[in-house]
């Protein structure tokens, strides 16, 4: 009898974003005359930039001629892209990461989810609360947890609450984790970690033989000087951290699909007998067996992000979104909402008024202002009473949405 993976039965409700999609669709179908402004899913709205677009077309054109056609590429990505990433995203910033440490993929959601597969089910995982739901969901799927309690916490996961009280920066966990998910700039709270903060984690991971899974999908949105964009800016991080980065938000690739994982040679994990194993080698074994590389024209497009013109264009798009963030922060603040984030991240984290629950606020904002945001509780129990607005929108929509939210009853 074909048996299911019963860990799936432990998963609460649907994945957050499909649930938002369902409610929005229901509302839109019932109110075809209302113009819904979507600031829920953190999805970019600006098109690919000209330089990236040209490289994408060039890559497609190569696929149409026998002399330049490419079949299977290296599963871990073409050297031209891995080298462009290592040089521009790391070495140019004084960080010693080699092309060989870069493994290209089709998305950070995939990478942060799939990475669990190379680690045994006996590992204890620490995650922030609230945080991007994929970390917890894939921890459950991979059999590293027990059931979900009524408070929304899965037994076996070490939760690190991020609240108003600690400035949304988690304390070191009281129980020792084996794998620690950190996400900076943070999704959903928009907070960033200072060098000292990250150094604390690197030290902690070293002392405990833990591995940090560092999601830096939003590093391009850091505007303040001195805030680290990579965990490898911290001395010793190469021995304890995997970094996840993506072209999705940086260069508008949410529908184009390209990302990468950085796993330095130095990083080791252990078998139960205490023998050290190269994490990169394990990940490559998974990646080459269960993945077949990113579409060649997409890799060409991604490499163009690092050209001088590409960088200039992409930075302009990032600045456009961050100007949206500024407008939103100021409008929401003026409307009396306590506001966090939005300075070094494209997300504005808002406290609802009068202790309103997140999904109630979601429904209110959708029904009364026809604006879609993300309920904070969807990111974890400590997000209850909060709401995330995304700065990934057109300027006109941002201004209109803020006007409508300001006038909420």
Q: Name the residue among 140, 78, 13, 124 with its Cα closest to residue 301.
A: 78
**CA separation for the pair 265, 248 (Å, rounded):** 26
User: Residues 182, 230: contact at Cβ < 8 Å?
Assistant: no
The number of C-alpha atoms within 13 Å of 290 and in the hemisphere containing its C-beta is 13
User: Residues 387, 374: contact at Cβ < 8 Å?
Assistant: yes
The one among 22, 31, 50, 407 contacting a copy of itself by CB under 8 A: 50
Q: Name the residue among 258, 277, 318, 306 with its Cα closest to residue 86.
A: 306
Q: State the pairing for strand pair 268-270/276-278.
A: antiparallel
Residue 396 interacts with a copy of itself (CB under 8 A)? no
Q: What are phi and psi of 145, to 5 degrees?
A: -135, 170
The one among 22, 164, 270, 330 contacting a copy of itself by CB under 8 A: 270
E strand or H helix that includes residue 390: strand 386-390
Burial class (CB in 10 A: 0-12, 13-18, 19+), 389: buried
Residues 226-255 contacting a copy of itself, CB under 8 A: 252, 254-255
**CA separation for the pair 184, 163 (Å, rounded):** 15
Q: Name the residue among 184, 122, 130 with its Cα closest to residue 153.
A: 130
Candidate segments 108-116, 152-160, 355-363, 397-405, binder of a copy of itself by CB under 8 A: 108-116
Candidate segments 111-119, 146-154, 224-232, 305-313, binder of a copy of itself by CB under 8 A: 111-119
- Alpha helix segments (H runs only) across 123-194: 134-141
User: Residues 76, 104: contact at Cβ < 8 Å?
Assistant: yes
Q: Provide the minimum distance between the beta carbon of 365 and a copy of itself in the complex, in angstroms, as a whole number.
A: 21
Residue 400 interacts with a copy of itself (CB under 8 A)? no
Residues 121-150 contacting a copy of itself, CB under 8 A: 121-123, 134, 137-138, 141
With H, G, I as helix, E, B as strand and everything else as coil, classify residue 252: coil
Compute how many other C-beta atoms are within 10 angstroms of the C-beta atom of residue 2: 3
Residue list, annotated binding site for pyridoxal 5'-phosphate: 72, 108-109, 132, 187, 218, 246-248, 257, 292
Candidate segments 70-78, 81-89, 226-234, 369-377, binder of a copy of itself by CB under 8 A: 70-78
Question: Between 105 and 191, whose beta carbon lies closer to a copy of itself?
Answer: 105
Residue 48 interacts with a copy of itself (CB under 8 A)? yes
Site string for a copy of itself, 14-33 (x = CB under 8 A): -x--x---------------
Sign of CA dihedral 85, 203, 128, 136: positive
Residue 118 interacts with a copy of itself (CB under 8 A)? yes
Question: Between 18 and 338, whose beta carbon lies closer to a copy of itself?
Answer: 18
Residues 73-102 contacting a copy of itself, CB under 8 A: 73
Residue 179 interacts with a copy of itself (CB under 8 A)? yes
Q: Provide the minimum distance between the beta carbon of 325 and a copy of itself in the complex, in angstroms, as a whole number.
A: 18
Question: Between 160 and 393, whose beta carbon lies closer to a copy of itself?
Answer: 393
**CA separation for the pair 64, 294 (Å, rounded):** 17
Q: Provide the minimum distance between the beta carbon of 255 and a copy of itself in the complex, in angstroms, as a whole number.
A: 4
Question: Between 283 and 337, whose beta carbon lies closer to a copy of itself?
Answer: 283
Q: Provide the minimum distance between the beta carbon of 352 and a copy of itself in the complex, in angstroms, as a whole number.
A: 26
Residues 282-341 contacting a copy of itself, CB under 8 A: 282, 285-286, 288-298
- Angle of CA points 146, 147, 151, to nearest 5°: 120
Question: Between 55 and 343, whose beta carbon lies closer to a copy of itself?
Answer: 55
Residue 391 interacts with a copy of itself (CB under 8 A)? no
Residue 119 interacts with a copy of itself (CB under 8 A)? yes
The one among 12, 34, 57, 353 contacting a copy of itself by CB under 8 A: 57
Residue 181 interacts with a copy of itself (CB under 8 A)? no
């Amino acid at each position: 009898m074909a048996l299911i993976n019963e860990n799936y039965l432990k998963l609460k409700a649907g994945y957050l974003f499909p649930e938002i999609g369902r409610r929005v669709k229901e509302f839109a179908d019932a109110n075809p005359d209302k113009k819904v402004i979507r600031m829920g899913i953190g999805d970019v709205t600006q098109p690919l930039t000209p330089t990236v677009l040209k490289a994408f077309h060039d890559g497609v054109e190569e696929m149409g001629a026998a002399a330049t056609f490419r079949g299977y590429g290296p599963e871990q990505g073409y050297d031209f892209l891995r080298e462009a990433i290592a040089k521009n995203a790391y070495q140019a910033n004084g960080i010693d990461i080699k092309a060989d440490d870069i493994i290209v993929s089709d998305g950070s959601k995939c990478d942060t989810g799939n990475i669990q597969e190379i680690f045994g089910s006996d590992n204890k995982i620490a995650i922030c609360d609230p945080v991007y739901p994929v970390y917890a969901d894939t921890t459950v799927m991979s059999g590293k947890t027990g059931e979900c309690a009524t408070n929304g916490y899965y037994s076996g996961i070490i939760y690190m609450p991020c609240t108003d009280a600690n400035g949304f920066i988690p304390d070191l966990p009281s129980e020792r984790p084996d794998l620690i998910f950190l996400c900076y700039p943070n999704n959903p709270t928009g907070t960033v970690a200072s060098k000292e903060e990250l150094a604390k984690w690197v030290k902690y991971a070293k002392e405990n033989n833990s591995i940090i899974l560092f999601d830096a999908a939003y590093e391009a949105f850091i505007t303040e000087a001195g805030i680290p964009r990579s965990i490898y800016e911290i001395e010793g991080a190469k021995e304890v951290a995997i970094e996840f980065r993506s072209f999705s938000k940086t260069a508008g690739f949410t529908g184009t699909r390209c990302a990468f994982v950085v796993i330095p040679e130095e990083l080791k994990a252990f078998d139960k007998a205490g023998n050290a194993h190269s994490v990169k080698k394990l990940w490559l074994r998974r990646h080459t067996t269960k993945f077949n590389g990113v579409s060649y024209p997409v890799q060409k497009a991604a490499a163009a992000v690092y050209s001088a013109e590409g960088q200039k264009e992409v930075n302009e798009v990032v600045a456009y979104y961050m100007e949206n963030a500024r407008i939103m922060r100021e409008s929401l603040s003026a409307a009396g909402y306590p506001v966090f984030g939005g300075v070094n991240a494209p997300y504005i984290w808002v406290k609802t008024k009068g202790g309103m629950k997140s999904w109630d606020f979601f429904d209110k904002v959708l029904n009364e202002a026809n604006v879609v945001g993300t309920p904070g509780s969807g990111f974890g129990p400590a997000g209850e009473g909060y709401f995330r607005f995304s700065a990934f929108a057109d300027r006109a929509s941002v201004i209109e949405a803020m006007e409508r939210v300001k006038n909420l009853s």
